[in-house]
Amino acid sequence: MSLIEGQGFRPWLAASTASVFGDSVTFFALGWAAAGFGADAASLVLTVESIPLAVLVLAGGVLADRIGIRRTMAACDAAMVLVMAAFAVGAIGGAGLWMLIVVGALSGTIQALRRPAEGVFPRLFGVDDLDRRMALVGSAHQIARTAGPAAGGFLLGQGGLPLTAGLDAATYVLVLAALLLVRPPHEPAPEPGHVSVWRSLVDGARAARRTPGVVPVLVAITGLAASVLPLVMLALPLAGRERGWSAAETGLVSGAWVAGGLVMTLVVARRGAPSGRVAVAGPLVAVAGVVLLGVRTEIWAGVFAIGLVGVGATTLTTYLFPAYVARTPPEMLARFSSLTQLAQTGPVLVATPLLGLAAGVDVRLALVIVGALLLVTVPPAVRVVRLPEPIPRGV
């Protein structure tokens, strides 16, 4: 086994983290440029990027199982190099709204096809220490996402959209090169091509339903996605305005969610996933944060409350995700991964407008709904904890 094969995970992690940073820069730059056309335009650009993530992610799972996980990631990264390079050139004379919409739609489509493969890529290096490996990926990527907007603002001032898009294209070249060099030791064989796409989807869904622990994990993830993400993206800004917080103060409170989650992933990356009993207490910790946010209006209370939400949610996910991936049949890794991706994106599209209606009546009502949704995640999480440890199946 060569040096690249034996130690391929860390070179890929470094390159993929750079790519996530480039994506975060671009996401900020697109939003900022779209905001110049008005609030409706900014919402449209962000929406056309989000919808494919919910609509096409299952197809991405089938694609990766059919042609190979690493090949799918490489093909999508090559496509993103072309998209961002073209955007960098096209934006030299200024970017119209139509260009931002096209780039957002293409980016969302490619990411939908890529994410199921990326979610299980750490599994291709073995099930030993899978929890630490996945936590290391999560923490590195989270740091990159946190740094991206600040860097994006600076780069926009230096060279505008051509510079930010060019940087993103360069980071995709980097991760593409890493994927072409790295050979994961436990990559499964692709599915036979004669199986129809619909049949592949049905087979994956049936296997997921039969695999112990899969359905409870998906239910728990759905509960977290429908509560935590709308809380941070919608309910928190509305609460900040109601309480007279400035934009900077509200941003500080929102950042506590990232900080709390990052602390937990770094701990897991070093020490391993929490025990089952600790993991199922995570949603309760998050509920405590929601309650604190509802009863106290000071900035310090908001920071502490949202930090608790980040710690609590991540305490559960750092246990659930490795358990889920370890139970996945090797020949269906990407299809199982696409189910978790759908469980994270689909509920947000439904819960966000409903939570907005509740917040229009009273922000505290929206917080009550968020707390109730968090509690919904506890019973399925308990079911997963009570299952016996999965038996590794060779990868």
DSSP for 139-191? Answer: HHHHHHHHHHHHHHHHHHHHHHHHHHHHHHHHHHHHHHHHHHH---TTPPPPP
Task: Please state the φ and ψ torsions of residue 42, each to the nearest 5 degrees.
Answer: -65, -45
- Report the domain count for the chain: 2
Pair (179, 216) in one structural domain: no
Pair (90, 233) in one structural domain: no
In a domain? residue 189: no
- Domain harbouring 66, CATH code: 1.20.1250.20
In a domain? residue 40: yes
Pair (217, 166) in one structural domain: no
Question: Would you state the pLDDT for residue 301?
Answer: 92
In a domain? residue 394: no
Q: Name residue 214's amino acid.
A: V
Q: Which residues of the chain, if any, have pLDDT below 70?
A: 1-7, 39, 43, 192-195, 247, 388-395
Pair (255, 319) in one structural domain: yes
Whether the CB-CB separation of 214 and 327 falls below 8 Å is answered with yes
Query: Smallest Cα–Cα separation from 322: which of 129, 78, 94, 160?
Result: 129
Pair (323, 380) in one structural domain: yes
Question: Would you state the pLDDT for residue 390?
Answer: 56
Question: Would you state the pLDDT for residue 1?
Answer: 37
Burial class (CB in 10 A: 0-12, 13-18, 19+), 248: exposed
Pair (175, 212) in one structural domain: no
C-alpha 191/C-alpha 332 separation (Å) is 9
Pair (85, 220) in one structural domain: no
In a domain? residue 195: no
Query: Smallest Cα–Cα separation from 268: which of 111, 115, 122?
Result: 122
C-alpha 265/C-alpha 206 separation (Å) is 32
Question: Would you state the pLDDT for residue 194?
Answer: 65
**Other CB atoms within 10 A of residue 34 CB:** 22
C-alpha 106/C-alpha 112 separation (Å) is 10
Pair (235, 277) in one structural domain: yes
* Range of the structural domain that residue 52 is part of: 3-126+142-183
In a domain? residue 378: yes
In a domain? residue 391: no
